[in-house]
Amino acid sequence: MSQPIPQPYGVPLLGNILDINPNKMWHSLKALAQQHGEIFKISVLGHTVVFVASVELAGEVCDEKRFRKHVGGPIVEVRAAVNDALFTAYHYENIWGVAHRILAPPLQPKAITRLFPGMNDITGELIDQWKSTSLPITPFDGLGRLTCEIIHHTLFGQRLDGLQGPEPPVIQAIKDFMAETVLRPTRPRLMNWWWHGNKHEADVNTMRQYGAAALNWGKDHPQEREEFLTAVIAGKDPETGKGLTDTQGIDNIISKQIAGSTAPCLLTATLVYLLKNPETLAKAREEIDSVIGQGQFEHGHLAKLKYLEGVFRESLRMASPAPAFNVEPLDSDDKSPILLAGGKYQIAYNQPMIVVLSEVNHDPAVFEDPYTFKPERMMGESYAKLPDGAKKWFGSGQRQCLGIHYATQMCMVILVRLLRDLDLEMTDPAYEPDMQGFLNVHPVGFTLQAKPRAMK
């Protein structure tokens, strides 16, 4: 017989609205998960929300024979900027299949190999900047500029020239917009319109203008634009023969920068963990020096950097920059409850659930010392033995992040260059990661100092 899904006590009419701080949502969910365990629910203004917080249940609700991605809550709010783009399309919108078949090929492993030189060269420009200053560096800001520039150049073909001088407006617009997407569902509509509407509309306009400028540049420069932008502009779906409209093209151009905004979150966290674990940093550097030596850094080296790959994966586990995703049961004529954990729990036939990766990734049933940074557990046989539910950093199934290979290559290139070329020190050696954010989370208040690496 099923047992009730745990729920904190609420207040009349409002339910559990006081249990979730919208400005510190992930801190609130961590506290609830530690109190209630692998699954819990809350009720807010009459709406029930179920949260999954264990590896085993995460693996179960990612079974595509029973569940699918749910587009709801903040992701619906993102549609204000990107409409029915790849990560915001509802399951019944045919555009998802059309866009996926057009845009997936230029993001496959073989296709992105040719993007390595651009990623490497632009990262070198940031390295030179950091070498030239003795002032404390806020890596999240610099890495945000860097990844925005890499995406714009390697996927579209144009330079933004955003590493120096004024920050490209699209970066701040995305930050503010993504925060607002989490906050808007928690407020009355009148408040959103009256107090927050103008700023929200301005951020959307900034992003749309950015996407339109990239699209128009690509149309005017067919020989210079990159393969991805060519697919956006001229690609045809092999099944239907359809292409993307200009509006749909802009949607998916903006989506790439929104998705890319998770990269500086992850990279900043990785630097924190490496600098707080000197032995791990030394091992990563030793591997880089052994594989690359004194020669030129080339794409072929990436596949040989197994320890650094473990560092990358362990950073995703410890500080998943996109800390949750939503799933729902598949449509069915059967309206009986859905059973979970072999009947231990049950949910309504149409109940969405939120997989809280920030807690799934620290499940003590799977990860020994779950809050300790151990790249070794993300390597070789140890990694292969992990349950599927422990590897959902990029989402799940057919709706997982389309740019998974691109993002991995970009982050690995940046990590190699930072560790190979620079000596880094935390400005405050006592700093502890303070993970904050909305749809993206990153360590706040973290600064470092950099200087050219003293080679042995």
Question: Cα dihedral sign for 324, 369, 404, 94?
Answer: negative
What whole-number distance in Å separates Cα of residue 356 and Cα of residue 354? 6
Q: Judge whether residue 456 has pLDDT over 60.
A: no
pLDDT class of 192 with cuts at 50, 70, 90: confident
pLDDT class of 188 with cuts at 50, 70, 90: confident
What whole-number distance in Å separates Cα of residue 407 and Cα of residue 358? 19
- Domain boundaries of the chain, sorted by first residue: 1-53, 71-327+390-452
**Percentage of residues of the chain with pLDDT beyond 70:** 100
Pick left, alpha or beta for residue 379 (phi over 0 → left; psi -120 to 50 → alpha; otherwise beta): beta
The pLDDT tens digits for 381-392 are 999 999 999 999
Q: What is the pLDDT of residue 186?
A: 79
Element (DSSP H or E) covering residue 272: helix 263-276
CA end-to-end span of the chain, whole Å?
65
Task: Look at residues 424, 433, 340, 418 and name the one whose alpha carbon lies nearest to residue 124.
Answer: 418
Q: How far is the CA of 427 from the CAs of 42, 89, 424, 452, in angstroms? A: 40, 43, 9, 16
Q: Judge whether residue 234 has pLDDT over 70.
A: yes
- Dmax over CA atoms of the chain, in Å, equals 68
Mean pLDDT of 116-135: 98
Mean pLDDT of 166-172: 97
Task: Look at residues 100, 94, 118 and name the one whose alpha carbon lies nearest to residue 252.
Answer: 100
Rg (CA), the chain: 22
The pLDDT tens digits for 203-226 are 999 999 999 999 999 999 999 999
Domain spanning 71-327+390-452: which CATH class is it, in words?
A: mainly alpha
More confident residue, 155 or 30: 155
